[in-house]
Structure 1
Amino acid sequence: MAKVLAVLSSGYSNEEHNYVTGWWAEELFEPLSELEKAGHSVGLASIDGGKPVVDPLSLDKAYDPEGKYKKLYDSGIADKTTPVVDVRASDYDAIMIVGGHGAMFDLAHDENLHAVINVVHETDGIVSAVCHGPAPLVFTKTKDGKPLLQGLKVTGYPNDMEPEEVDGLLPFSLEDEMAKIAQYDKGDGQDEYFVWGSDRLLTGRDPGSSRAFGRELAKKLTELEEHQLDKHLD
């Protein structure tokens, strides 16, 4: 059983524009389901700890027509998170950064999160992120000072999918920042899209890719466990 750390935005609000955002429900609950189905365990963390702010739109009927994610949210699954600063990164086999516009505000430049990402990466764990979740990966640098994503194939929420109502409110363009240092690919023509930038770096494009992204992460973790078991038996 692998241990995965799911990192969520604590939330962001702009009262002047009546704008509230945070983590996106589908992007936690779909991968969580796939990981647990495969027998892996998932711990939750956020910048502030406690109950992080979910993006209210992600529980709206337009994005959750059957009320599946609202029911999971209301059950309290995501009510308790560990502050990122208190996370012992070496305890985890993988980190999964959940998207939602909130990630661009509080996760992107958080140095404690960058440190956790680096420990997982340096100890041969899997670094993964979906939708806007790659935001902190863009600004994470390795011990030698190079961008973590430098030259790697990645995906994430593209400019042409951003809703008009957030125009001018976001701190940067995720696609533009990723394209500066990595090989950004939005997977044109594919309903679900994820990509491995290396054998330990996985990114998913959008909410609709969350399930496939989670299934792929779960599959890889299972394969790594089986490989380690075979080496031990040899």
Structure 2
Amino acid sequence: MAKVMAVLSGGYVDEENDYVTGWWAEELFEPVLALQDEGHMVGLASPEGGKPVVDPISLSEEYDPEGKYKKLYESGIADKTTPIVDVKASDYDAIFIVGGHGAMFDLAHNKDLHAIINIVYEHGGIVAAVCHGPAPLIYTKTKEGRGILEGLNVTGYPNDQEPKEVVGLLPFSLEDEMRRIANYSEGSGEKEHVVWGSKQILTGRDPHSSALFGRELATRLTQREQEKEDAFFSNP
């Protein structure tokens, strides 16, 4: 069983423009379900801890027609998160950053999160992010000063899918920033699109890719756990 830390935006409010955002429901729940199906344990963290703000649109009928994610949200499983500063990164085999526009506001430049990402990475763990979740990875640098995504194949939410009414409110373009340092792939024509940039870096394009993203992460972690077990028993 691997231990995974899922990191959520605490939420962002722009009262002047009547804009509220946070983490995206499908992008938390689908990967968590996939990880749990494989027997892995998932913890939750956010900048301030407690109950982070979910993007209300992600629970709307348009994006959650069957009410699957609303039911999971209302069950309270995402009500308690650990403050990022209190996360002991060395305890985890992987970290994944949940998408939603909120990640661009309070996770992108969060130094404590950058440190956690680096510790997981330097211990050989997997660093993963879906949709707008790669925002903090763009600005995470290794101890050698190299960008953690530098030169890798990556994906994330594309410019042409951003709602026009939101674009002017965002602090930056995720796609543009990813293209600046990495090899960005939109996965045109693919309903689901995920990219392994290396054995340790996984990115997913959008909400529709969340389930595949979760399965890829879960399967890789299971394989790694099996490899550890095999190595242990072959070296008495």
Q: CA deviation at 1:167?
A: 2.0
Q: Indicate the SS of the match to 2:64.
A: coil
Answer yes or no: is 1:144 the counterpart of 2:144.
Answer: yes
Map of 1:107 onto structure 2 = 107
Q: CA deviation at 1:146?
A: 1.0
Map of 2:96 onto structure 1 = 96
What is the distance in 2 between the residues matched to 1:88 and 1:143?
18
Q: Indicate the SS of the match to 2:13.
A: strand
Map of 1:10 onto structure 2 = 10
Q: CA deviation at 1:128?
A: 0.2
What is the distance in 1 between the residues matched to 2:147 and 2:91?
24
What is the distance in 2 between the residues matched to 1:116 and 1:210?
22
Which consecutive segments of 4 or more residues in structure 1 shift more than 2 A?
A: none
Answer yes or no: is 1:71 the counterpart of 2:63.
Answer: no
Map of 1:229 onto structure 2 = 229
What is the distance in 1 between the residues matched to 2:33 and 2:131?
17
Q: Amino acid of the residue matched to residue 212 of structure 2? A: A
Map of 2:190 onto structure 1 = 190
What is the distance in 2 between the residues matched to 1:207 and 1:100?
9
Q: CA deviation at 1:170?
A: 0.2
Q: Indicate the SS of the match to 2:128.
A: strand
Map of 2:116 onto structure 1 = 116
Q: Indicate the SS of the match to 1:222.
A: helix
Q: How many residues align?
A: 234
1:46-93 Cα offsets, whole Å, 9 max, x none, are 001000000000000000001110010000000000000000000000
Q: Amino acid of the residue matched to residue 123 of structure 2? A: T
Q: CA deviation at 1:38?
A: 0.4
Q: Amino acid of the residue matched to residue 207 of structure 2? A: P
What is the distance in 1 between the residues matched to 2:229 and 2:78?
32
What is the distance in 2 between the residues matched to 1:232 and 1:2?
16
Map of 1:24 onto structure 2 = 24
Q: Indicate the SS of the match to 1:36.
A: helix
Q: Amino acid of the residue matched to residue 148 of structure 2? A: L
Q: Indicate the SS of the match to 1:198.
A: coil
Answer yes or no: is 1:133 the counterpart of 2:139.
Answer: no
Alignment of 1:168-179 (within 5 A): 168-179=168-179
What is the distance in 2 between the residues matched to 1:190 and 1:68?
24
Q: CA deviation at 1:165?
A: 1.5
TM-score of the two chains, using structure 2 as the length reference: 0.99
Q: Amino acid of the residue matched to residue 45 of structure 1? A: A
What is the distance in 1 between the residues matched to 2:38 and 2:232?
21
Q: Indicate the SS of the match to 2:45.
A: strand
Q: Amino acid of the residue matched to residue 196 of structure 1? A: W
Q: Amino acid of the residue matched to residue 66 of structure 2? A: E
Q: Amino acid of the residue matched to residue 200 of structure 1? A: Q
What is the distance in 1 between the residues matched to 2:165 and 2:86?
35
In structure 1, runs of 5+ residues without a counterpart are: none
Q: CA deviation at 1:29?
A: 0.3
What is the distance in 2 between the residues matched to 1:225 and 1:144?
28
Query: What is the root-mean-square deviation in Å for CA atoms of aligned residues?
Result: 0.4
What is the distance in 2 between the residues matched to 1:168 and 1:160?
14
Share of identical aligned residues, percent? 70
Map of 1:81 onto structure 2 = 81
1:131-166 Cα offsets, whole Å, 9 max, x none, are 000000000000011111000000000000101120
